[in-house]
Amino acid sequence: MSVPRLIDEGGLREKGVTYSRMHRHRLIKAGRFPRPVKGAGKSNAWIEAEIDAYIAGLIAERDNASQAA
């Protein structure tokens, strides 16, 4: 079994997720963004596969919305 790859805030930015910390917190609280895992100290990290799935979901929403119009 492979270990999930973790990414930090810089990794989120590289994937195009440029939300502010506060906006991410609101989305997480609403269940609309993947929850981070705690890293060393106060740092947070996200499971890369969950972020990729989140982005794929945004693309699917966009595509479904354009087909409905």
Which strands make up the sheet holding 6-7, listed edge to edge? 6-7, 44-47, 37-38
CA angle 43, 29, 56 (to 5 degrees): 85
Residue-wise pLDDT for 42-61, tens only, equals 889 999 999 999 999 999 99
CA–CA distance, 29 with 22 (Å, rounded to integer): 11
pTM of the model: 0.88
- CA of 11: how far to CAs of 7, 8, 57, 65, 66, in Å? 5, 5, 18, 28, 29
Residue-wise pLDDT for 29-42, tens only, equals 999 999 999 977 88
Segment 9-30 mean pLDDT? 97
pLDDT of amino acid 56: 98
H-type helices in the chain, by residue range?
9-14, 21-29, 48-68
